[in-house]
Structure 1
Amino acid sequence: MINQFRNLNPVNLLILAAYAIFMRLAIFLNLPDQLNFEFLEPYTKFFIQIPLTNYFSPAGNIFFATVLTFIQAILFNRIINNHGLLAKPSYLPALLYITGSSLFLQFLILSPALICNFLLIWIMDKFLKIGKTPNAMMTMFDVGMIIAFGTLIYFPFIVLLIMLWLSLLLYRSFNWREWIAGFIGFLTIFFFVAVFYYWNDNIAQFYKIWRPLVNKFPSTLQINFSDYLVLIPVGLIMILASLQLRENFFRSFISTRKAFQMLFFMFIIAIISFYTKPDFRVYHFLLSVPPGAVLLAYYFSNAKKRWFYESLFAVLVLCIQYFLFV
């Protein structure tokens, strides 16, 4: 399987589509009685009404989630190949993206985090470009606006504002205009939101939008570890990928080193942003799939012993299927 996806054969697109369906067999064969799709945050529904909750049957919900995941995988694959983050262009990023997007049952349904992954992939592309442009001010402004749009869909997306400044630290020398451009882009969108609230004599509700930002990070988490055993093979592959990356780190292009550092920070921020949503669902961690999938793809792109990496991937897929079914 891995060897097949190490090249850009167009046939791999068909195999990838079949693989995306295969990874969702568990939920297709055991359809829930009802699946609600809440597309926007409550503060956004105040001025945008999109009644999608009852538009999809459970089968339709999962089908469209599969289609969106497949489209994201293709876009993600193109971006990673365009920026040369792997040993050579391949369909491995798409393969690992779909694999990572199938880890848990809640990953397989329509969710705000799934929609936001389109924006996250777009942001990744823009961040990977800022080291190659003479002036990153407009790029950062655009990213700020994208993060604002994502925040209208799913509030924890706002934490990605931190990535504006982390990326500038990694890629560029200090320029105060670039440092504030992204934040201005973000404020531009929410300025119009504030105006709408004001016109409707509801400005007090606008202030309440920001309350989750002061939530305390939980000191204890109630976790059923048996639900997350599927992460063991994922963690093993990430450790192997980190060792491989460390070995090749100083032999890589400077842009590649910075890219993986940026993706590491994005991965961590996507995970910890759950604290802004006290009633968060497992699907929140879909936001960590794009940066995480790059690291997984890096290992399989550089691994040497075919019997080992093919077996490791097979174990990962079998573990995912087992825990999805049980």
Structure 2
Amino acid sequence: METAIKYFYMLLKTLKGRHYLLLFLVPVLFLFLWIKAFISPVSLTPGQDQMPLYELLQQLTGGSIIALNIVGAAILILLSLLAVRLNERYVFIRQRTDLPAFVFALIATGTVSLYGMHPALLASFLLFFAIDCVFAVYHGSRTLAKSFEAGMFIGLATVTYLFSGIYLLWFWVALAFLGYFRPREILAGFVGFLLPVFVVLSWYFLNDNLTGLLQTISSLYNFEFSAEYSMFQKVYWGILAAFVLIASAFMANVVEEKKISSRKYFMILFVFFLTAIGNYFIFSSAGTELYFLLLIPTTFIVSHYFVLSRYSWVKEILFILFVVASILVHFLG
């Protein structure tokens, strides 16, 4: 046991730094933990019509589940690297670290019913860029352009995964946290949101298929989600929720030590997290796929704790629990 703790301590210490090993380790970890998506691929949207942007992706991949899953794996790997880049750009975790990529990989693959591509995964990728744009607004330069871009990415996410539209409200809340809740930024974001929606509606109207689109939206909205999960999968979600609570409590305890910008960024990420949770309770047809929307905020909340917590032995034990549970869920979940 002592030897295992020693190795995990070395792993945590290594991942907290900056290493080119990341470029090799994270993709390999993803492919190892997500291998079932390629060995025995299963559609996560069987027999369901989907929003236009995802339908376009299905057409481009020829409807091949394996091809879609390859795209999904590429998105997850890219998101893990972009998570590191986002912290490097805004430094809200007060250290340049590769740990978010590793944490993201473990969390992203931690729900065994989501081995594969889903519209919510593509929407999560688009919403990541909305987060980036919102953070950029705080710098005060090109606030209108960045507000427009944030709204546009939310609009693109909405025509990919219907329940992403609620993130327009998150955007307005984020503007309030940043001190830019002004008519011009609000309007710029709203116009950006409407642009992809308008283009899609116009395309379907010109092709005399607007009724078909409205029927798809209605069927997605009225779909009754139901699923059963193993006990260990539920235990893993419970462990992950406990980590979020512990990390959030730690963050609240050290918030006064942070720069004002870091506080605002973390509050925006936390509201992003709550928006996904709210989606689950507001819309009965929104289900496990919302897990994909939780990935970015959960990754940063958990990574912040592992990087900055001063209680070394507690942190090491929790890190062991996190890694072991994230791997075991693939065998027991």
TM-score range, shorter chain: 0.7 to 0.9
**TM-score using structure 2 length:** 0.83
Query: Counterpart of 1:17?
Result: 27
The Cα offsets for residues 37-89 of structure 1, whole Å up to 9 and x where unpaired, read as 669963527994843364244xx655553333111100111112211111210
Asked whether the equivalents of residues 141 and 185 of structure 1 are also in contact (C-alpha less than 8 Å), the reply is yes
Q: How does 1:33-112 map to 2 (within 5 A)?
A: 34-36=41-43, 42-44=50-52, 48=56, 50-51=58-59, 52=61, 54-57=63-66, 62-112=69-119
Aligned partner of 1:115 among 106, 122, 139: 122
1:5 equivalent to 2:11? Answer no
Deviation at 1:35, TM superposition (A): 1.9
Query: Counterpart of 1:303?
Result: 309
Amino acid corresponding to residue 244 of structure 1 in structure 2: F
Asked whether the equivalents of residues 73 and 94 of structure 1 are also in contact (C-alpha less than 8 Å), the reply is yes
Aligned partners of 1:124 and 1:45: how far apart in 2? Answer: 20
**SS of equivalent to 1:260:** helix
Query: Counterpart of 2:4?
Result: none
Aligned partners of 1:105 and 1:275: how far apart in 2? Answer: 22
Asked whether the equivalents of residues 4 and 12 of structure 1 are also in contact (C-alpha less than 8 Å), the reply is no
Aligned partners of 2:304 and 2:152: how far apart in 1? Answer: 30
Aligned partners of 1:49 and 1:115: how far apart in 2? Answer: 10
Aligned partners of 1:292 and 1:100: how far apart in 2? Answer: 8
Aligned partners of 2:76 and 2:49: how far apart in 1? Answer: 21
Sequence identity percentage: 19
Query: Counterpart of 1:270?
Result: 276
1:139 equivalent to 2:149? Answer no
The Cα offsets for residues 264-289 of structure 1, whole Å up to 9 and x where unpaired, read as 11011123224676444423311111
**SS of equivalent to 1:230:** helix
The Cα offsets for residues 109-158 of structure 1, whole Å up to 9 and x where unpaired, read as 12222222221221111111111124522211111111111112111111
Structure 1, unpaired ranges of 5+:
none
Structure 2, unpaired ranges of 5+:
1-10
Amino acid corresponding to residue 286 of structure 1 in structure 2: F
Aligned partners of 2:93 and 2:296: how far apart in 1? Answer: 14
Query: Counterpart of 1:231?
Result: 237
Query: Counterpart of 2:3?
Result: none
C-alpha spacing 1:63/1:205, structure 2 compared with 1 (3 Å) = closer
Aligned partners of 1:47 and 1:113: how far apart in 2? Answer: 13
Amino acid corresponding to residue 109 of structure 1 in structure 2: G
Aligned partners of 1:210 and 1:67: how far apart in 2? Answer: 27
The Cα offsets for residues 247-277 of structure 1, whole Å up to 9 and x where unpaired, read as 2111111111111111111011123224676
Asked whether the equivalents of residues 61 and 110 of structure 1 are also in contact (C-alpha less than 8 Å), the reply is yes
**SS of equivalent to 2:159:** helix
How many positions carry a matched residue from both structures?
319
1:175 equivalent to 2:185? Answer no
Aligned partner of 1:150 among 157, 160, 184: 157
Amino acid corresponding to residue 124 of structure 1 in structure 2: I
Deviation at 1:292, TM superposition (A): 1.0
Amino acid corresponding to residue 55 of structure 1 in structure 2: S
Q: How does 1:285-324 map to 2 (within 5 A)?
A: 285-324=291-330
Query: Counterpart of 2:6?
Result: none
Aligned partner of 1:260 among 263, 266, 272: 266
C-alpha spacing 1:318/1:214, structure 2 compared with 1 (3 Å) = closer
Which segment is superposed worse, 205-214 or 2-11? 205-214
**TM-score using structure 1 length:** 0.85
Deviation at 1:209, TM superposition (A): 6.3
The Cα RMSD (Å) is 3.2
Query: Counterpart of 1:244?
Result: 250
Deviation at 1:160, TM superposition (A): 0.8
